[in-house]
Amino acid sequence: MDVLDRRLVAALQVSPRAAWGEIGRAVGEHERTVARRLQRLVAEGAVRVTAIYDDLRSGHGRPVHLHVQVRPGTAAAVAKALSDRPDTRSVYALTGVADIGCELVSPSREALHDIITAQVPAIDGVLQTQTQVVLHTFRTVAEWHAPYLTEQEVAELRPAEAAGPLPDEDGMSPLEQEIAELLVADGRIAFTAIAERLDVSVPTARRRVTSLLERRVLLLRAEVEPALLGLEVEAQLWLKVRPDGLDTVGRTLAAHPHVRYCAATAGTHSLIVQVAVAHEAALYRLLTEVVGDLHEVTGTDVTLITRAYKRGHLRKSGLLTLERTP
C-alpha cells in the first residue's frame, strides 16, 4: 500500500460504514479515487469490513487468552487446528516461551473447563497451555485505527455519539441476531439489502443496526494486516501491574496510537497489550518511554507476533484476509 492507501484504510477503520464521499471529504480526496482504491483493496482481500461482538453485552460468553507450547515442528498444524474452531477469534505464532497465542470466546465456565482441560490438550502437538481470562477490556481492535490521520480528520469521520447515556439493554432479539450475522459477514451491507433479506422495512433495518452499534453489542471493524499499513512489528506485552494502578495503566495505554488492544486479565499477568509499530526501534521506545514511565507496572514480558493465522474470526493467508470460520 502507498501512503494514500494507508490513509484511506485508516479512515475506513475509523468509520467502516462511511460512504466513499464522506471519506473523500474528510481526507481531501475525490470520491472516485476513494472508491477505486478501497474497492480494489477489498477485492484483493487486503481489507475486509466485518463486525465483532462485544461478548459480554451480546451474551456470547467470556473471552480468554491462551498461550500454547507445542512439540517442535507442529506449530503450523496446531495453529490450523485452533483456527478451525468456531470459538477462536484470533490465532498467532509467537516468539518466546509460548509458540502459539490464541484468543477464544467460551460460552460458559463449564465449557471453558472442558476446552482448556480436554479439547485443546487433545490437539496433536500441544504440550502445555496457560490461560488468562479477560476481566475488562480497555480497547478492542475494532476501536483502533492506523495512526495516519489528523485529529480533525478523525473527528469528521467518527460517527456522532448518541445523545444521553447508552441504553442498559444487553443481549439481542432474534431479529437483531440475524442482522448482526449479516453485518459480521459484510460490515458495509446496505440497509436495503438487510431489509430484503430479512423481510423487514428499511427504517426497521436502519433502526436495529443503529441500536446494535449504539449499545455496543456489535462493533464494526475494517480488518487489515498491520504490515500492509507499514506497521511490521507486532508485539504482545504481558504486564504485571499493582491493583491500585491497573485502571490508570489500562486507560493510559489504551489511548496510545500504536496500541491495538488492551485488556485486564486474571492469571499470571494483569494486563495484555497488543501493539503495532513500524520497526523494533519504535517498540523499544514504546517500552522504555511509555511503559517504563508507568510506575505501577512491576513486570513486563514481551512476545512478538510472527504470523497471524486468524483475526476477528477471519482466516488469514499470509497478509490476505479470507473467510470467516463457520
Q: What digits encode the pLDDT tens for the residues 72-93? A: 999 999 999 999 999 999 999 9
Confidence of residue 37 (pLDDT cuts 50, 70, 90): very high
Q: What digits encode the pLDDT tens for the residues 276-288? A: 999 999 999 999 9
Q: What digits encode the pLDDT tens for the residues 18-29? A: 999 999 999 999
Query: What rounded mean pLDDT belongs to the chain?
Result: 92
pTM over cut 0.85: yes
Angle at alpha carbon of residue 41, lines to 35 and 47, rounded to 5°: 115
Tell me what the mean pLDDT of segment 287-312 comes to: 95
Q: What digits encode the pLDDT tens for the residues 236-292? A: 999 999 999 999 999 999 999 999 999 999 988 999 999 999 999 999 999 999 999
User: Is residue 158 scored above 50 in pLDDT?
Assistant: yes
Report which of 217, 293, 215, 182 is spatially closest to residue 248, judged by C-alpha positions.
293
Residue 117 to residues 65, 129, 233, 295, Cα–Cα distance (Å): 14, 9, 33, 36
Confidence of residue 157 (pLDDT cuts 50, 70, 90): very high
Positive/negative CA dihedral, 252, 255, 259, 261: positive
Residue whose cell numbers read 447508552: 166
pLDDT at 161: 54
Distance CA 322, CA 246 (A): 36
Half-sphere exposure of 273 (CA within 13 A, CB side): 31
Report which of 151, 204, 218, 181 is spatially closest to residue 16, judged by C-alpha positions.
218
**Single-letter residue type at 230:** G
**Single-letter residue type at 310:** K
Distance CA 4, CA 17 (A): 19
Report which of 53, 63, 95 is spatially closest to residue 265, judged by C-alpha positions.
63
